[in-house]
Chains A and B, each alone.
Chain A
């Protein structure tokens, strides 16, 4: 089954404790991205990757890091999480930037205390 998976689905952590949210897709998609969703603000793009080893900032990159060492995986790293990063995070992938249908993962609800 074609899908995007994220782990963990739920995470409660404390300020400053480094964490990684994993994202994996099995559709051989070139383009992957991370979004955060906050009430009243909709979906905002954090980082995106056009292909392996090619990443760039989206609209709200501060406090986040990403890497794309393999085509299928695109982890999101919070080196020193803060309470304002409490949010619902979605990973998404698409065939390429020209084919923009985004396939979203199930989401990761992160709470930073």
Chain B
């Protein structure tokens, strides 16, 4: 079935190192969203990308949407301990855009 794949599943970095998670879809997406879930918390919306090749920045976070609108990435520059959590990408998988399929997430651990 249609799915969204995310890699890596887990990454452990030292504070100050960079981090990247990648998201790949089996189909072209109308848009892609990114969410962050802190340990013990609920997913929180970070951003939505809509245009082919779009790049958006939020402070140390950079989000990219691929030219073919089938892949996306989230890059964190100079990680901090507050970045700890699981990062999910999600996209509407059906033609009516009525369902949202999440990737399995990348768990980020940052050591001080």
Contact = CB atoms under 8 A, between A and B. Distances in A.
Interface of A: 33, 35, 40-45, 48, 50, 56, 58-59, 90, 92, 97-98, 100-107
A43 B104 CA distance: 7
Given A42-B88, A43-B88, A100 B102 contact: no
B101 interface: yes
Contact of B102 (A43, A97, A101, A106): A43
Interface residues of B, number: 22
A44 B41 CA distance: 17
30 contacts: A35-B102, A40-B104, A42-B88, A42-B102, A42-B103, A43-B43, A43-B88, A43-B90, A43-B102, A43-B105, A45-B99, A45-B100, A45-B101, A48-B98, A48-B99, A59-B101, A97-B92, A97-B96, A98-B97, A100-B31, A100-B33, A100-B97, A102-B33, A102-B45, A102-B90, A102-B100, A104-B42, A104-B44, A105-B42, A106-B42
Contacts of B101: 45, 59
Interface hub of A42, A45, A59 (most chain B Cβ within 10 A): A42
A100 B100 CA distance: 9
B23 to A, nearest CB: 12
A46 to B, nearest CB: 11
A59 B99 contact: yes
Contact of A100 (B42, B44, B48, B88): B48
Interface hub of B31, B43, B103 (most chain A Cβ within 10 A): B43
